[in-house]
Amino acid sequence: MSSRDAIVAEIPRLRRYARALTGQSDTADDLVQDTLERALEKWHLWQRAREVRPWLFSIMHNLHVDTRRRAGRIDYRDDDELAEVPQRSEAADGLELRDLDRALALLPTEQREVLLLVGLEELSYAEAARTLGIPQGTVMSRLSRARSRLQSILNGEAVPQLKVVKT
């Protein structure tokens, strides 16, 4: 399989993760596009022993961190900043998507990343740790916090703290 084919095969997975991570389709596809460009540039550095998927996710993670750092973004989004719900045949699905977008946006980014890599992308804990460049123990503690916090948010229990991320 050529480098292009191997990378193209991962695009749907990258789009799903980016969509859930950023909460917005356009922002997500911008992130995917940047990730693909970087991956093709760096392809010759990629070692065959490594799985291509965690490698691509780690490129995306680094770009996402850079973008947020540059923007000096506040780790919080207004309701009207959240994505429009795409037209879906079943309204219930659309509502669930909207609820999850909101709830995920209220998680700190580092918790959201772990939750999505494990719960949605089904990476192993070791792969998630390599992708994010953190120890596996940190993956477990973030996963734990993310799950209990998401549960509280979805149950309407917690008023999440707004956390300002310093530039």
- Contacts with another protein by CB under 8 A: the residue count is 42
Residues numbered 125 to 144 that lie near another protein (CB under 8 A) are: 125, 140, 143-144
CA distance 4 to 26: 23
Beta strands 74-75 and 163-164: pairing type? antiparallel
Work out which of 83, 118, 129, 132 binds another protein, going by CB under 8 A: 118
Regarding 15 and contact with another protein (CB under 8 A), the answer is yes
Closer by beta carbon to another protein, 20 or else 59: 20
The CA-to-CA distance between both ends of the chain, in Å, stands at 41
b/e per residue, 114-137, with b = 16+ CB within 10 A?
bbbbbeebebeeebbbbbbebeee
Torsion sign (Cα): 141, 75, 97, 21: negative
Regarding 29 and contact with another protein (CB under 8 A), the answer is yes
Work out which of 11, 82, 158, 165 binds another protein, going by CB under 8 A: 11
Closer by beta carbon to another protein, 36 or else 63: 36
Closer by beta carbon to another protein, 41 or else 81: 41
Regarding 7 and contact with another protein (CB under 8 A), the answer is yes
Regarding 50 and contact with another protein (CB under 8 A), the answer is no
Regarding 66 and contact with another protein (CB under 8 A), the answer is no
CA distance 157 to 102: 14
Closer by beta carbon to another protein, 81 or else 122: 122
Regarding 12 and contact with another protein (CB under 8 A), the answer is yes
Regarding 158 and contact with another protein (CB under 8 A), the answer is no
Strands (E), the chain: 74-75, 163-164
| Residues 32/11, Cβ–Cβ less than 8 Å | yes
